[in-house]
Structure 1
Amino acid sequence: MLTLQRRQLVGHDILLARHGNHISAMRVDRQSGRVVAYLDDGSTDSAPNMISPGLRMPDTMRSVLRDDWKFFAVMTACTTGFAGAMTAAAVALAGMSGDPGMAELLTAYSGT
C-alpha cells in the first residue's frame, strides 16, 4: 500500500547527536546524499543522509510523480483523446439526424 510521508533526514539526527546546541545552520547536499552542519566555531561537519544505500525510503508525492510521470502523461492523453472522441461522436450523431429534437437531445445537458 502506498503511503505518502515526509522523508526523515537521518543526517540531521546524526549531527545533532554529535554537536547538540553548537550547530548554527544545516543544509542538505542532495547530490552527495549528505547533510552539512555549520558549527558555532566556524567549522563544518557532515553526515550521510541514509543508514544504508539499499534502504527503501517512504514514498513522497514528489518521488511518485518523478518516477511515474510518463504513466500519468499517457493516461491524461488517453482520457483527453477519449473525451474528444465522445464529444465528436455526439456532435456527428446530432448532425446526421434530421430531427431537431434528436440533435437537441444529443447535444444538451440535462441538469435534472
Structure 2
Amino acid sequence: MITLQRRQLVGHDILLARHGNHINAMRVDRGAGRVVAFLDDGSTDSAPNLIAPGLRMPDTLRSVFREDWKFLTGISACCAGLAGLMFAASAALAGMSGDPAMVQILTAYSGN
C-alpha cells in the first residue's frame, strides 16, 4: 500500500547522536545514500541513510512517478487515443447522415 509519506533520513539521527550541538549544517548526498554533517571544528562526518540496504522505504509521490512513469504515460496515451477515436466516430456518424437535424444532434451539447 502506498503511504506517500516523506522519507525519514536515518543519517540525520545518527549524526545528531554522534555530535549533538556541534553540527553547523547537514546535507543529503543522494548519490552515495549518505547524510554529511559539517561540524564546528571544520571537519565533516557522514552516516548512511538506510539501516539495511534491502529495506523498503515508504513510497513518496516522486518515487511513484519515477518508478511508474512508463505505465502512467501509456495509460494517458490510451485515454487520449480513445477520446480522439470517439470524437472522430461522432464526426463521421454526423457526416454520414444527410439530415441536418442529425448533424446538429450529434455535434451539439445539451445542457438539460
State TM-score, norm by structure 2: 0.98
Quote the offset at 1:110 in angstroms: 1.2
Which residue of structure 2 lines up, in the alignment, with residue 14 of structure 1? 14
Quote the offset at 1:3 in angstroms: 1.2
CA distance in 1: counterparts of 2:33 and 2:56, whole angstroms: 14
Unaligned runs of 5+ in 2: none
Q: How many residues align?
A: 112
Which residue of structure 1 lines up, in the alignment, with residue 29 of structure 2? 29
Q: Partner letter of residue 28 of structure 1?
A: V
Unaligned runs of 5+ in 1: none
Quote the offset at 1:2 in angstroms: 1.6
Q: Partner letter of residue 90 of structure 1?
A: S
Q: Partner letter of residue 88 of structure 2?
A: A
CA RMSD, aligned part only?
0.6
CA distance in 2: counterparts of 1:77 and 1:16, whole angstroms: 48
CA distance in 1: counterparts of 2:110 and 2:41, whole angstroms: 73
SS, match of residue 6 in structure 1: coil
Query: Deviating runs (4+, > 3 A) in structure 1?
Result: none
CA distance in 2: counterparts of 1:2 and 1:45, whole angstroms: 33
Q: Partner letter of residue 28 of structure 2?
A: V
Which residue of structure 1 lines up, in the alignment, with residue 106 of structure 2? 106
